[in-house]
């Protein structure tokens, strides 16, 4: 092979430099694509994961351990093929959101469905337990559902008040409903009613209730339906089984 002239050598070097430069640009581009690709994949995956978790069915369907008993407050037909049990907290906004839906369901299905309301006052809601006792005190004078409705309908008013303020509100409701207010007051503090609320809460804990509202349809915990129609068709499905 002929030795390269000086000019050829220079040319070769220039070529090599150019190639190295091109290679450099390519690696750099690849690196950029990798960095941004990984970043967006991570962000996209995170958002998809959050959506998935939010709508995922519970992996192990929770079962209700305590069937409807004579001490439960119920609506509808006892012989019905669809039994809906709600664990609820009067101070929980989501329960307040579901209150008119459930009321309408009970009205629409009548004896075709049985609905039971159980107390599950959460510790983070300071007036919830008192509200549960107020509903029970109404129940002691055969006005449980009337008191229950009244408490939910005025949820925003008494929720923000102190314990004494909320109690004054509940007493006012009892007066409006024509109850014996002196008896209402003493019932509110009675051990029987305190125990009833606590028993409901304990039964919820046994069935792994950890948030409100929690609905059990024929003993099986359901995802909270997103609309009235969804709720209705869920019950219709159960009835047609």
Partner 1 sequence: MMNLNLSSTTLSPNKAKVIAIAFLIVSFIGFLDSSYLTVQHYRGEPPSCAIFTGCETVAESKYAVAGPIPLALLGLLYYLAIFILTVAYFDTKKERLLLLAALLTIAGFLASLYFVYLQLFVIKAICLYCMISAASSTALFTFGAFAMFRDRDSKQCR
| Only segment of 95-103, 140-148, 186-194, 228-236 that touches partner 1 (CB under 8 A) | 95-103
Is residue 63 part of the contact set for partner 1 (CB under 8 A)? no
Q: How far is the CB of 43 from partner 1 (least distance, A)?
A: 7
Residue from the set 72, 103, 112, 122 that interacts with partner 1 by CB under 8 A: 122
Is residue 207 part of the contact set for partner 1 (CB under 8 A)? no
| Beta strands 220-222; 214-217: pairing state | antiparallel
Is residue 212 part of the contact set for partner 1 (CB under 8 A)? yes
Q: How far is the CB of 1 from partner 1 (least distance, A)?
A: 44
Is residue 229 part of the contact set for partner 1 (CB under 8 A)? no
The neighbour count for residue 154, using CB atoms within 10 Å, is 17
* Residues 200, 51: Cα–Cα separation, whole Å: 33
The angle that helices 228-240 and 93-109 make with each other, rounded to 10 degrees, is: 50
Residue from the set 130, 148, 213, 234 that interacts with partner 1 by CB under 8 A: 213
| Only segment of 78-86, 94-102, 165-173, 187-195 that touches partner 1 (CB under 8 A) | 94-102
- The answer to whether the CB of 158 falls within 8 A of the CB of 134 is no
| CA distances, 168 to each of 14, 90, 128, 160 (Å) | 92, 16, 14, 13
* Residues 219, 234: Cα–Cα separation, whole Å: 14
Query: Given the rule CB under 8 A, which residues bind partner 1?
Result: 31-32, 35-36, 39, 42-43, 46-47, 49-51, 53-54, 89, 92-97, 122-125, 210-214, 224, 226
């Amino acid at each position: 092979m002929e030795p390269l002239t000086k000019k050829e050598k220079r040319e070769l070097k220039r070529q090599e430099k150019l190639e190295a430069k091109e290679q450099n640009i390519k690696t750099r581009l690849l690196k950029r694509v990798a960095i941004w690709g990984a970043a967006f994949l991570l962000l996209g995956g995170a958002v998809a994961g959050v959506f998935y978790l939010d709508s995922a069915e519970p992996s192990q369907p929770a079962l209700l351990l305590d069937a409807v008993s004579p001490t439960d407050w119920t609506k509808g037909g006892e012989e019905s093929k669809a039994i809906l049990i709600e664990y609820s907290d009067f101070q929980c906004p989501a329960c307040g959101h579901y209150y008119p839906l459930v009321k309408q369901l009970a009205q629409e299905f009548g004896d075709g469905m049985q609905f039971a309301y159980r107390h599950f006052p959460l510790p983070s809601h300071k007036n919830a337990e008192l509200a549960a006792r107020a509903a029970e005190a109404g129940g002691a004078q055969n006005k449980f559902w009337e008191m229950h409705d009244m408490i939910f309908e005025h949820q925003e008013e008494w929720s923000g008040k102190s314990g004494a303020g909320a109690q004054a509100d509940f007493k006012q409701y009892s007066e409006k409903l024509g109850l014996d207010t002196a008896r209402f007051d003493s019932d509110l503090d009675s051990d029987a009613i305190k125990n009833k609320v606590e028993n409901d809460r304990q039964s919820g804990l046994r069935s792994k209730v950890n948030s409100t509202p929690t609905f059990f349809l024929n003993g099986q915990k359901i995802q909270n339906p997103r609309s009235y129609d969804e709720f209705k068709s869920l019950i219709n499905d159960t009835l047609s089984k």
